[in-house]
Chain A
């Protein structure tokens, strides 16, 4: 659905460079999440946010930081990209009133 978008959709970058992925939602959802998806691992939570400027770490947060200055935007930054961060990154949103998470289309990141 157009309620949540991610940019860029594809990116190739070199080891050691900083990378920022953007997630934008138009649903005014309070909770937002960043996951990475790798073969054999399902979806693993990197960071999540439960409101503006309120963020917390997930299970695979090393090497990643996030920021949420507005309800609609949740940014994921790789300070110095490594080849192990080559993955598909999904953003998701949700509300306390629902057990459902809505996912964005994903960003395929390749670190060479």
Chain B
């Protein structure tokens, strides 16, 4: 079976930096995705890493280390609107388009 571990909650102040870690144990690995979900809303895609290294998209960056089965999502210059749940998800095979999701990290941004 597959297992993805991420912290359940993180709290930070506006303007701060938050790092959400995700460690995974899966039978295969093709790529790691991150999704954001606001309370009452649908998950929306943030980023995807298939290769080791850092991918930057505006204030958000995502990192992957395949050798360590580890990735993280970095949220910079936190804003109140970043208060949401963040999920990591693994795609296990190139020809398998299913995702296995972690339980999610709730980020609370305080003024």
B97–A100 CB distance below 8 A: no
Chain B residues within an 8 Å CB radius of A90: 42-43
Interface residues of B in 81-111 (CB under 8 A from A): 87, 89, 91, 97-104
Q: Distance (Å) between the CB of B94 and the closest chain A CB?
A: 10
Tell me the complex Cα distance, A50–B97, Å.
9
Tell me the complex Cα distance, A100–B102, Å.
16
The 5 closest A-B pairs by CB, nearest first: A103-B42, A42-B101, A43-B101, A42-B103, A100-B45
Count of CB-CB pairs between chains A and B under 8 Å: 47
Interface of A is mostly: strand
A96–B97 CB distance below 8 A: yes
| A19 interface residue (CB < 8 Å to B) | no
A42–B44 CB distance below 8 A: no
Q: What would 7 more interface pairs be, CB under 8 Å, given A45-B98, A90-B42, A103-B42?
A: A40-B103, A43-B101, A50-B97, A58-B98, A101-B45, A102-B45, A103-B44
Chain A residues within an 8 Å CB radius of B44: 103
Tell me the complex Cα distance, A40–B50, Å.
26
Q: 24 A–B contact pairs at CB < 8 A?
A: A35-B101, A40-B103, A41-B103, A42-B87, A42-B102, A42-B103, A43-B43, A43-B89, A43-B101, A44-B101, A45-B98, A45-B99, A48-B98, A50-B97, A94-B97, A96-B97, A99-B50, A100-B33, A101-B45, A102-B45, A103-B42, A105-B41, A105-B42, A106-B42
Tell me the complex Cα distance, A44–B50, Å.
22
Q: Distance (Å) between the CB of A54 and the closest chain B CB?
A: 12
How many of chain A's residues touch chain B, expressed as a range?
20 to 34
Chain A residues within an 8 Å CB radius of B41: 105
| A31 interface residue (CB < 8 Å to B) | yes
Given A31-B97, A58-B98: A99 and B91 interface contact (C-beta under 8 Å): yes
The closest CB in chain A to the CB of B88 belongs to: A42
Chain A residues within an 8 Å CB radius of B101: 35, 42-44
